[in-house]
Amino acid sequence: MSLLLILCELKYFLFIFHSHLMQKNVYPLLLIILAFISSCESDVFSPRVLPAPLLQPQKSNQTESLRFGGLFHTRSTVWDLAGAEEHYLKNFDIRHYSALDSIVFSPMISANDSEGQVYVELFNLTDNVPIINSRLTSRSGSFDPVFTRNILRYFPSKKIDLALRIKSETGEEVSGYFANLFVYKSVVE
Residues 19 and 90 in one domain: no
pTM of the model: 0.66
Verify that 102 and 157 share a domain, yes or no: yes
Residue 133 and residue 174 in one domain: yes
Q: Considering its fold, how many domains does the chain have in total?
A: 2
Is there a domain that residue 45 lies in?
Answer: no
Range of the domain at 168: 52-185
Per-residue pLDDT of the chain in tens (189 residues, 90 and over written 9): 445 555 555 555 555 554 444 444 454 555 555 555 554 544 333 333 333 333 444 444 588 899 998 889 999 999 999 888 888 999 999 999 888 889 999 999 999 877 889 999 999 999 999 999 999 999 988 888 999 999 999 999 999 999 999 999 999 999 988 899 999 987 654
- Closest to 134 measured CA to CA, from 174, 177, 163: 163
In this structure, are 86 and 163 located in the same domain? yes
Residue 74, domain member (yes or no):
yes
Residue 98 counted as domain residue: yes
Does a structural domain hold residue 30? Answer: yes
Is 86 in the same domain as 6?
A: no
